[in-house]
């Protein structure tokens, strides 16, 4: 009974926060001719409702791909079609072909916001509750605190309910995949993650850990016995799910090729906006786009991404535990964000999800990363007029992380899983000093992010450097993300093979 009461309270606070943020502005509000992501989502409803399936991803007189052409997998298109049918019942003008472009009204904003909240309540929130109450250790109050902190992560709330997107669908399905595997329901986990991958192609950030965990588990059970049977079942689940999602496009190879072309638009280049990854940050000193050809950029980004993903993936393959799986999800997605081709600032939500899953075990480092990930999207949030909700949600998340999970107090060597580091640094740093250094750096980072946030709003940049503040935000965030990648890899790779982990294990 206590679990139900605490879970209900978490859900109530989460929904209230989301709906409060939704009253604010959104991407591209009142900014013709392209408007923004809000219009992109509305336009996809218009296209999927009025055009036959075989025209959804092709440039035609009725479907101008230069105007927010559909560039997500089929499951996103089907979701848009479902929303369009409801919109048509309420007001046909919302999805009228061509004439509805740029449509904005209070009623339509309410409808669009409600569609985001609905999928959040149906998909994302239940997955968070299941994970927190069944796959984390501690008392019911600690589990509820973990759930609340995950649900109040400001980055996802600000992007989905402020900027406007449906990230909670793909992230929620991915989390259902984690829950399924964590509870030993491997087929359900495989199904859920396959659906996530068919909703947003960026879920590839999480794909290798899922593959390595399941393959490692099959190998552990024996590929000549139960392991082989499990592997066949998983393969069939994935293939059938893919086939059902892509069924309308399978009759024509040209359709498949066009969808893939839309999903992976390499013509856009290495990066576009100011994003806190390696290439954008390095570009401040070295103009990579000018020095290297596009093919070389593509090859370099692929090589570095693979280089930083392989160690954690191999460790997971050898030791397929839930703890290793969660760390591998962080390391894989963060490596993709930092080194892969054509990364958007919102893609930081993909590493943020598995970091949220570490709130119970590593509250200080998880809180630090999640605060930084929200801060890294500041230029985008300012463009959308979301500074006030950014400040309020960030402070609320920090308060609950400190008050409920005692994040700053969890800074000892053992609580940070930094035993191997201390062995290397014990000649100059005692355990107490190492813990103090981490806490002081955390505090200094928060102060720097707060200072840059308010400076970006209060001061005008120099005329010669109009992008000064966005560049400072992205570079500062990049440094912390790179340090996080090294830290989480260190935690995963140095875990002793014979360690009796308190983390749940299949």
Q: Cβ–Cβ contacts within 10 Å for residue 400, how many?
A: 18
Can you give the pLDDT at residue 435?
A: 77
- Residues of the chain with pLDDT below 70 are 1-2, 409-415, 417-432, 496-506
The answer as to whether 172 is a domain residue is yes
Can you give the pLDDT at residue 501?
A: 44
The answer as to whether 406 is a domain residue is yes
Distance CA 366, CA 408 (A): 11
- The set of residues, in sequence order, having a beta carbon less than 8 Å from that of 152 and lying 6+ positions away, is 13, 14, 17, 393, 396, 397, 400
Can you give the pLDDT at residue 430?
A: 62
The answer as to whether 345 is a domain residue is yes
Cβ pair 148, 13 in contact under 8 A:
yes
Rg (CA), the chain: 23
Average pLDDT of the chain is 91
Q: Long-range contacts of range 222-225, CB-CB < 8 Å, 24 or more positions apart? A: none
Tokens of 443: 């505090």
Domain count, the chain: 1
Task: Taking the CA atoms of 249, 250, 255 and 256 in sequence, report the sign of the dihedral they define.
Answer: positive
Rounded to 10°, the helix 74-90/37-50 angle is 80
Tokens of 310: 């392989």
Distance CA 322, CA 73 (A): 28
Can you give the pLDDT at residue 288?
A: 83
The answer as to whether 179 is a domain residue is yes
The answer as to whether 95 is a domain residue is no
Query: Could you give the C-alpha distances from 8 to 4, 11, 74, 120, 148, in angstroms and in order?
Result: 6, 5, 34, 15, 10
The answer as to whether 88 is a domain residue is no
Can you give the pLDDT at residue 321?
A: 95
Tokens of 68: 């927010």
Count Cα neighbours of 505 within 13 Å in the Cβ-side half-sphere: 10
Chain centroid to CA 370: how far? 11
Q: ∠142-144-146 over CA atoms, to 5°? A: 70
Range of 114's domain? 2-29+104-493
Q: Three-class SS string for 384-416?
A: CCCHHHHHHHHHHHHHHHHHHHCHHHCCCCCCC
Can you give the pLDDT at residue 500?
A: 45
Closest to 478 (Cα-Cα) out of 392, 378, 389, 373: 373
Distance CA 25, CA 11 (A): 24
Task: Give the single-character DSSP code of 65.
Answer: T
DSSP 172-223: HHHHHHHHHHHTT-HHHHHHHHHHHHHH-GGGHHHHHHHHHHHHHHHHHH-T
Can you give the pLDDT at residue 503?
A: 45
The answer as to whether 378 is a domain residue is yes
Can you give the pLDDT at residue 293?
A: 84
Can you give the pLDDT at residue 304?
A: 95
Closest to 156 (Cα-Cα) out of 14, 358, 276, 294: 14
Can you give the pLDDT at residue 225?
A: 86
The answer as to whether 250 is a domain residue is yes
209 burial level (CB within 10 Å; 0-12, 13-18, 19+): buried
Q: Cβ–Cβ contacts within 10 Å for residue 341, how many?
A: 20
């Amino acid at each position: 009974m206590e679990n139900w009461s605490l879970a209900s309270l978490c859900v109530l606070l989460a929904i209230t926060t989301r709906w409060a943020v939704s009253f604010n502005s959104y991407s591209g509000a009142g900014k013709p001719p392209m408007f923004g992501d809000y219009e992109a989502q509305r336009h996809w409803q218009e296209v999927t409702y009025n055009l036959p399936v075989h025209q959804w991803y092709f440039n035609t007189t009725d479907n101008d791909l230069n105007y927010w052409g559909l560039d997500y997998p089929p499951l996103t298109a089907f979701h848009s079609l479902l929303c369009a049918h409801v919109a048509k019942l309420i007001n046909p003008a919302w999805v009228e072909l061509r004439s509805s472009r740029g449509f904005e009204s209070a009623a339509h904003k309410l409808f669009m916001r409600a569609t985001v909240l609905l999928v959040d309540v149906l998909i994302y929130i239940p997955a968070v509750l299941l994970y927190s109450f069944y796959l984390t250790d501690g008392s019911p109050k600690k589990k509820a605190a973990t759930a609340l902190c995950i649900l109040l992560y400001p980055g996802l709330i600000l992007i989905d309910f402020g900027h406007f997107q449906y990230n909670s669908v793909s992230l929620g399905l991915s989390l259902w995949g984690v829950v399924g595997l964590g509870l030993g329901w491997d087929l359900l986990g495989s199904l859920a993650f396959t659906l996530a991958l068919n909703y947003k192609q960026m879920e590839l950030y999480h794909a290798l850990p899922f593959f390595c965990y399941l393959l490692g588990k099959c190998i552990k059970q024996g590929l000549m016995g139960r392991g082989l049977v499990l592997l066949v079942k998983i393969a069939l689940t994935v293939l059938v799910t893919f086939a059902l999602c892509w069924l309308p496009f399978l009759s024509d190879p040209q359709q498949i090729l066009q969808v893939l072309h839309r999903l992976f638009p390499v013509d856009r280049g290495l990066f576009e906006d100011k994003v806190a990854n390696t290439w954008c940050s390095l570009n401040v000193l070295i103009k990579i786009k000018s020095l290297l050809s596009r093919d070389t950029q593509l090859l370099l980004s692929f090589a570095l991404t693979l280089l930083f993903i392989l160690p954690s993936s191999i460790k997971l393959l050898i030791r397929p535990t839930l703890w290793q799986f969660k760390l591998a999800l962080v390391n894989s997605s963060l490596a993709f964000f930092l080194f892969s081709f054509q990364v958007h600032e919102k893609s930081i939500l993909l590493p943020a999800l598995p970091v949220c899953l570490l709130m119970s075990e590593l509250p200080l480092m998880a809180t630090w990363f999640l605060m930084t990930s929200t801060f890294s999207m500041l230029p985008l949030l300012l463009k959308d007029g979301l500074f006030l909700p950014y400040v309020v949600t960030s402070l609320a998340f920090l308060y609950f992380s400190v008050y409920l999970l005692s994040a700053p107090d969890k800074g000892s060597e053992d609580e940070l899983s930094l035993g191997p580091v201390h062995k290397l640094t014990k000649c100059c740093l005692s355990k107490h000093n190492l813990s103090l250094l981490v806490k002081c750096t955390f505090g200094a980072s928060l102060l720097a992010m707060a200072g840059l946030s308010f400076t970006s709003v209060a001061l005008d940049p120099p005329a010669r450097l109009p992008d000064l503040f966005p560049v400072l935000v992205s570079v500062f965030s990049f440094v912390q993300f790179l340090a996080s990648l090294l830290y989480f890899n260190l935690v995963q790779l140095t875990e002793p093979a014979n360690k009796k982990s308190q983390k749940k294990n299949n």
